[in-house]
A and B are shown apart, each in its own frame.
Chain A
Amino acid sequence: DTAVSQTPKYLVTQMGNDKSIKCEQNLGHDTMYWYKQDSKKFLKIMFSYNNKELIINETVPNRFSPKSPDKAHLNLHINSLELGDSAVYFCASGRLDRDTEAFFGQGTRLTVV
């Protein structure tokens, strides 16, 4: 049973389209995250949600909108996709002050053409 699962694993789309990436965790964690890994493998946090409430928004463009219907799910919707959005997006869950660990999904490789 996968602890943090993301779908889809690969996503190829044209500029200007709108797409969503789904994430689900079955670990019972309160906090979920979205990280972006660029072409140079650099990982940077985008959003953090705690019990469905936005905690961190790291100056991500408004085209990116996370949605957390419940604390086990954190989806990422991206409007008007641009070439520069091409990256691997990782969902994670955890509670750093208690679990002291973040569990990552397998990633979604987004390619904008």
Chain B
Amino acid sequence: AQSVTQLGSHVSVSEGALVLLRCNYSSSVPPYLFWYVQYPNQGLQLLLKYTTGATLVKGINGFEAEFKKSETSFHLTKPSAHMSDAAEYFCAVSEMGNTDKLIFGTGTRLQVFP
């Protein structure tokens, strides 16, 4: 069965600092991996996704993530945090080629301090 673990339910950084949100997955088949962002009282917006090919994936708003099969990880990074990045971030996995569901992690709340 697939699962996603997000280490750290809360992450706080200063504006301009590096953002690192951790995600580890478990999947018996090649996974598709996603990062979604949820701003307060909003729906989920896709930041980036990995399906196949290049393991370093760039997304919107300056975020990127690297798929590391050996570590079963898909950590999200941004070189310089902005106040507007404050939100809830969700990592998700689905099985490649399967019109099945997204399995979400428990989310990480990112706070950005001035």
Contacts and interface: CB of A to CB of B under 8 A. Distances in A.
The reply to whether chain A is a binding partner of chain B is yes
Interface of A: 4, 31, 33, 40-45, 48, 50, 55-56, 58, 90, 92, 95-97, 100-107
Contacts of A50: 99
A56 to B, nearest CB: 6
Contacts of A104: 36, 43-45
Most buried by B among A31, A58, A104, A105: A104
A40 B104 contact: no
A106 B101 CA distance: 19
Interface of B: 32, 34, 36, 38, 41-46, 49, 51, 88, 90, 94, 96-104, 106-107
Secondary structure at the A interface, as helix, strand, loop or mixed, is strand
Contacts of A41: 38, 88, 106-107
Contact of B107 (A42, A56, A90, A97): A42
18 contacts: A4-B43, A40-B106, A43-B44, A48-B101, A58-B101, A90-B43, A96-B94, A96-B102, A97-B96, A100-B49, A100-B51, A101-B34, A101-B46, A104-B36, A104-B43, A106-B42, A106-B43, A107-B42
